[in-house]
Amino acid sequence: MNIVIIGGGFAGINLAKELLNQKGIQVTLVDKNNYNFFPPLIYQVATAFLEPSSISYPFRKFFAGKKNLQFRLGKLLKVVPSENKIILHNGELSYDHLVFATGAETSYFGMENVKKNAIPMKTLNDAIEMRNTILKNLEKAAICKDIRERRKLLTIVVAGGGPTGVEVSGMYAEMRKSIFQKEYPELGTTASNIYLIDGGPALLAPMSKASQEDTLEALTNLGVVVQLNTQVTDYVDDTVFLSTGETIQTKNLIWAAGVSAMVFEGIPAESYGRGRRMATDDFNKVNGTENIYAIGDTCIQLTDTDFPGGHPQVAQVAIQQGLNLAENFKLMGSNKPLIPFKYNDKGSMAIIGRNKAVVDLPKPKMHFKGFFAWLIWLFIHLISLITYRNRVQTFFNWMISYFSQDQSLRMIIRPDKTKKKSNN
């Protein structure tokens, strides 16, 4: 059985790992990057509290010595279901079973100016770009004599009140009170604001009311200006336009407001559902296909009675779907009945700042906040990293950050785009 997996995020990597050393099964994982990374912690890379290597790991090193697993660097261009093959930008691959685990990409809701000028928060590249942009703007502000221009350089607007938006806002609020004041004495008492904008009536919409209220209170105490029932409608000439008619002058619009799945040539249009997610049956087989599957954020399954509108696009769904599909591939090889996917909600959480977090557990229904919730958040995220190396490195960085309330990772490192290649 030749299985090709497109995408090496939570869903894809867990599917591949579960099929390790399975006789009769050969797995090829295809990804446009040569590394797996841990999305819940990219905001810590973006704010220079973790190195990129702490939350990422090369696929080839991870697959080394695993005889039935192999990696292919490539970008998917087209699927040819009639021939059981895919077309990549650098070649072709044949398959017996094809699995889409491509996750989701940033959605700008059709706002081209926002897409062009905002800072997204979805990939590791986005995180590094955000770190560089914020640090460069701080350096510009340190020598800027125009007060209005300096305020634009220092003001940060975060669009999206989900976990990423909350975590980024809280982190920058704490950095503003400590690190920025120490390291940028040139800024003096220049006023700067951090805005968190969300279109809904509450932050962390999927979480409990208690978590929403605790989060709003904690962010407000940190000095974050939270504006609910408000949407960003445009971003032009350093001006963020809001649905309320207000405007905010800033050079830093961080976009964490929405995601959508991707559409691929060769997959029938009728196979897509809400949010461009591939509609699947109980076993994650894409509707209208024979041997193509979708797991994680890129799929929507409407057959789970506990989630009639589809599962949330969170890591636990992706992980569980990957493991369930792996078990079904094993059962296929022995002609045994397949297991329908049923999501086991283990809870949700978000970190707000130092010693501040919220955690909701569904069974039994419990809510935690503050230091204990913060410890739970640290533990769960630490053990979820892909390798022991990542866990040790991240734990070490966190300990330094906790006791020093700082990190020494604020370097602006980027390639010189103006340098031309030698003709030699």
Q: Is the alpha carbon torsion for 101, 105, 109, 111 positive or negative? A: negative
Q: Which pLDDT belongs to residue 179? A: 83
Catalytic annotation on 92? Answer: no
pLDDT at 137 over 90: yes
Q: Where are the alpha helices (DSSP H) in 352-387?
A: 370-384
CA dist 406 and 268 (Å) reads: 51
What proportion of the chain, given as a percentage, has pLDDT over 70?
96
Q: Which pLDDT belongs to residue 48? A: 87
Q: Which pLDDT belongs to residue 73? A: 97
CB 154 within 8 A of CB 141: yes
- What does the pLDDT look like over 311-367, one tens digit per residue? 999 999 999 999 999 999 999 988 899 999 999 998 999 999 888 999 999 888 899
Specify whether the backbone of 91 is left (phi greater than 0), alpha (psi in -120 to 50) or beta: left
CA dist 92 and 75 (Å) reads: 11
| Coil/strand/helix, residue 84 | coil
Q: Would the pTM of this model clear 0.75, i.e. be above it?
A: yes
Residue 189 pLDDT level (bands cut at 50, 70, 90) = low
> The tokens of 351 are what?
């970190």
- What does the pLDDT look like over 98-127, one tens digit per residue? 999 999 999 999 999 999 999 999 999 999
> The tokens of 181 are what?
């004041």
Which helix (H) or strand (E) element contains residue 58?
A: strand 56-58
| Cα–Cα nearest to 390, from 13, 56, 51 | 56
Residue 417 pLDDT level (bands cut at 50, 70, 90) = low
- What does the pLDDT look like over 18-75, one tens digit per residue? 999 999 999 999 999 999 999 999 999 998 888 899 999 999 999 999 999 999 999 9
C-alpha separations of 383 from 62, 192, 308, 366, 403 in Å = 17, 37, 31, 22, 21
The domains of the chain, with CATH numbers, are: 2-32+74-104+261-333 (3.50.50.60), 112-258 (3.50.50.100)
**What is the mean predicted confidence (pLDDT) over 227-244?**
97
From 167, 183, 186, 327, the catalytic residue: 167
CA dist 320 and 300 (Å) reads: 14
- What does the pLDDT look like over 267-309, one tens digit per residue? 999 999 998 999 999 999 999 999 999 999 999 999 999 998 9
| Cα–Cα nearest to 87, from 261, 277, 266, 263 | 266
